[in-house]
A and B are shown apart, each in its own frame.
Chain A
Amino acid sequence: MPLIEFADFSFKYVGADSLALKRINLTINEGEYVVITGPSGCGKTTLCRAINGLVPHFHRGYIGGNVIIDGINTRTSSVANLSSIAGMVFQNPSNQLVTLNVERELAFGPENLGVDPAEITNRINEIVELLFLENLLEKHPHEMSGGEQQRVALAATLAMKPQILVADEPTSNLDPKNAEHILEIISSLNKRGMTVVLIEHRLDLVAQDATRIVLMNAGRIVADGKPREILVDDICQEIGVGIPKATQVYKGLKKRGIQLPSVPLSGEELAYIVQEAVLK
């Protein structure tokens, strides 16, 4: 059974002129790492909100078709119920943090889900270690930098032990080293079985971790496949999606009649492929 299933799903926000999502059909199975990308305003965030029920229960509007999460129709379920299955990290972390210090923030979600207090302490300790939050525990979320808030928001979501992690540009406020670190953690959680749905513009950061890329434009899914297939497709340029520089070089060489044997997603991969080709 698929974990996430969009069946002919459409959505229009109250007050908007056009549909944010137009007849979306998308099936995601357990254990996948799906990157959703596309130009700004294409419907990525709306799609993610539909996974944990914020659309249509919090953001209201016209709705067509269905979204089924782990067998539950989001139309008839509540956000509270869905959020224990699909945990969401928002684009703007300060909208998400509600309490006065980090420790309270991490306990807030599991407490609301009725998790046993001893188990909550265990989870907090585990997550504090995983995300290097020791120094932040006493801090007020609004005293923290954007990047620190983003790490805490991810931690608070993971504390609920969701089956699915839905993350809307979870590293946008982080410096490159911190971003790499967070993405490594997300990738390792995925390898341990967590299903990941992640929105990202900077594909150079996530293309290697993703098992699949879904490309959206103007409310529709316009391409869906393995990263090495999607990123060489001209549709990326057509709709204004930036591909990794290493992949750009691969495409540039191809235009000049030089066909490398495989598609690189990182600088190191490109160097390795070229080296093999030259030395052979």
Chain B
Amino acid sequence: MIKIEDIHFKYEGVYTALRGVSIQIDQGERVAIVGTNGAGKTTLVKHMNGLLRPQRGHVFLKDRDTKHMSVAEIARTVGLVFQSPDHQLFLDSVEKEVVFGLRNLGYSAKEAEERCHNTLSRLGLEGFADRSPFTLSGGERKRVALASVLATEPKVLALDEPTIGQDAKQKKLLAELLSEMNDAGCTVVVVTHDIEFVVEFFPRTVAMSGGLIVGDGKTESLLSNEAIIDLSSLSAPQTTLAASALRKKFPEVSNRITSVSDLEEIIVRLVGGL
């Protein structure tokens, strides 16, 4: 679906964000991109939807070099939800905001309105259609930004830090929504620092540091690799930390615990074994 070949990118001035990144993402995958601040994660996803063009290297979408595609063409395939909704929202009602993107991609007014309403209700935003995005909370604005991209039904959905400002319930709803989209064939790529979110939902993790990919593989094995955890400034989930502390006294405790229920079982056995 997406093939990136040795791309380099330097922001005006001195800052080199990408120093030779290659990655291939197949249709229907769910991939999390993690790593230190300034590692190049956002720069990489901006290359996926054509907002940035590689200064060296190539980005292919379904085997077509994006060099020969317009931004609009790319946007129809890859929808990007920004880290800060304020970079994306600019109209005075939620409905106008969502309809705007759809009209730009050539949908009729009637069709755009219909899609808009479906998407808003899917995200629990029905009551917000006439509100100005600027009277909404940070978390709600983020969902409006997501709605405006979701409504276009992109084949690849890329989200930059989608869980920021979302409470536990919204996070769960977001995970369910992404699951649903993914089941319907949509490829999902997220940039995130939220390790619990990665563990629960993303089978593949890509770790970045200093403009390079330093790890790419199964989430479970990547997140139990201390060198990669360190290089990409991650921190292990509380359950994993508790388990490794317990293992020092009780060697029977496994070193692969990531879920609350697994840890509960272990403790029940430890306490029950008195």
Contact, CB under 8 Å: B167 / A175: no
Residues of chain B with a CB closer than 8 A to A40's CB: 137-140, 165-167, 170
Known contacts A92-B84, A145-B38, A268-B241; is A38 also within 8 Å of B271 by CB? no
Residues of chain A with a CB closer than 8 A to B235's CB: 176-177, 180
Contact of A145 among B37, B86, B165, B260 (CB under 8 A): B37
Q: Produce 1/0 per residue, A24-57, CB < 8 A to B.
A: 0000000000000011111001000000000000
Contact, CB under 8 Å: A201 / B268: no
Instruction: List CB contacts (< 8 Å) of A256-273 with chain B.
Output: 256, 258, 266-268, 270-272
Contact, CB under 8 Å: B38 / A147: yes
Classify chain A's interface size.
Answer: 35 or more
- In the bound assembly, the distance between CA atoms of A244 and B260 in angstroms comes to 10
Size of interface on B: residues with Cβ below 8 Å to A = 58
Shortest Cβ distance from residue A252 to the other chain B in the assembled complex, whole angstroms: 5
Shortest Cβ distance from residue B263 to the other chain A in the assembled complex, whole angstroms: 5
Residues of chain B with a CB closer than 8 A to A1's CB: none
Contact, CB under 8 Å: B264 / A15: no
- Closest B residue, CB atoms, query A14: B135
Contact, CB under 8 Å: B15 / A249: no
Residues of chain A with a CB closer than 8 A to B242's CB: 246, 249, 267-268, 270-271, 274
Known contacts A13-B135, A40-B138; is A249 also within 8 Å of B267 by CB? yes
| A230 interface residue per 8 A CB criterion | no
Residues of chain A with a CB closer than 8 A to B232's CB: 175
Contact, CB under 8 Å: B238 / A240: no
Q: Produce 1/0 per residue, B121-160, CB < 8 A to A.
A: 0000000000110011111100000000000000000000
| A131 interface residue per 8 A CB criterion | no
Contact, CB under 8 Å: A175 / B264: no
Contact, CB under 8 Å: A143 / B170: no
Residues of chain B with a CB closer than 8 A to A241's CB: 167-168
Shortest Cβ distance from residue B270 to the other chain A in the assembled complex, whole angstroms: 5
Contact of B170 among A39, A248, A258, A278 (CB under 8 A): A39
Contact, CB under 8 Å: A91 / B165: yes
- Closest A residue, CB atoms, query B136: A41
| A95 interface residue per 8 A CB criterion | yes
Contact, CB under 8 Å: A266 / B13: no
Q: Produce 1/0 per residue, A87-108, CB < 8 A to B.
A: 0000110110000000000000
Residues of chain A with a CB closer than 8 A to B243's CB: 267, 271
Shortest Cβ distance from residue B39 to the other chain A in the assembled complex, whole angstroms: 8
Comparing A66-74, A110-118, A166-174, the segment that makes contact with chain B is A166-174
Residues of A within 8 A of B (CB): 13, 15-16, 38-42, 45, 91-92, 94-95, 139-140, 143-148, 168-169, 172-180, 201, 204, 240-242, 244-246, 248-249, 252-253, 256, 258, 266-268, 270-272, 274-275, 277-279
- 4 smallest A-B Cβ distances: which pairs? A40-B139, A147-B37, A242-B168, A240-B169
Residues of B within 8 A of A (CB): 11-13, 15, 34-38, 42, 83-84, 86, 131-132, 135-140, 161, 164-171, 193, 195-196, 232-235, 237-243, 245-246, 249-250, 260-261, 263-264, 267-268, 270-271, 273-274
Question: Given A145-B42, A274-B246, 8 other A-B contacts at CB below 8 A?
Answer: A16-B131, A91-B138, A91-B165, A95-B86, A173-B83, A176-B195, A245-B260, A278-B270
